[in-house]
Chains A and B, each alone.
Chain A
Amino acid sequence: DGGITQSPKYLFRKEGQNVTLSCEQNLNHDAMYWYRQDPGQGLRLIYYSQIVNDFQKGDIAEGYSVSREKKESFPLTVTSAQKNPTAFYLCASSIQGGLNTEAFFGQGTRLTVV
């Protein structure tokens, strides 16, 4: 089945550690996105990538880093510089080349700082 796979589902991080969240898609989508969701708030865009080897900062990129070495993969690293990383992280993808395109989401990774 085509879709987006995020792993792990739950992740625990100690203070000062970097952690990497995985996002893989087999939909042949060019564009991929990372969002953060906090209780009572809408999703906020962290980073997005429109093509391989290119990515752009979203609204809350500080403390995060990404790479896009393959079309299928868009991993997100939460660095120790992110002051409040505990949140639900969602990865999404969409077909490139159109403004009126539908977004597809993974099942999310819940990150907790311990």
Chain B
Amino acid sequence: KQEVTQIPAALSVPEGENLVLNCSFTDSAIYNLQWFRQDPGKGLTSLLLIQSSQREQTSGRLNASLDKSSGRSTLYIAASQPGDSATYLCAVKTSYDKVIFGPGTSLSVIP
């Protein structure tokens, strides 16, 4: 059974720092991995989608990597800003209709 974990559960950093969020999954047979951002009381906003054949994706200050063999993905945020404060969730697609979410990392960027 596929399980997705995210470490740390919460992270607080000063503004301007580069940071890494981690996502681990137990079964390497995935079709894609998606990183989302969730603001308090809001829905999810897709940040990056990495196909199973890809190693990384970049969008602005965000870079996501995928290592299927080790069951890991990282989300790198460069030069963090207070507006980056949110919960970040990763999700893996394991079949045509199955997406498994991690519990999320709550990020707080201190001005």
Contact = CB atoms under 8 A, between A and B. Distances in A.
Contacts of A99: 31-32, 93, 95-96
Nearest to B49: A102
Contacts, number: 61
Which secondary structure dominates chain B's binding surface?
Answer: strand
A88 B87 CA distance: 15
B2 to A, nearest CB: 11
A48 B97 contact: yes
Interface string B81-111: 0000000010101011111111110000000
A99 B97 CA distance: 8
A90 B43 contact: yes
- Give the interface size class of chain A: 20 to 34
B34 interface: yes
Interface in A3-38: 4, 6, 31, 33, 35
Contacts of B95: 99
Interface string B2-46: 001000010000000000000000000001101010000111111
B51 A105 contact: no
Interface string A77-114: 00000000000101010000001101111111010000
Contacts of B49: 100, 102
B101 A43 contact: yes
B52 to A, nearest CB: 7
A6 B43 CA distance: 10
Contacts of B89: 42-43
Contacts of A6: 43
Interface of A: 4, 6, 31, 33, 35, 40-45, 48, 50, 56, 88, 90, 92, 99-100, 102-108, 110
Given A102-B46, A106-B43, A107-B43, 12 more contacts: A31-B97, A33-B99, A42-B4, A44-B101, A48-B97, A56-B97, A100-B52, A102-B34, A102-B49, A105-B46, A107-B42, A108-B43
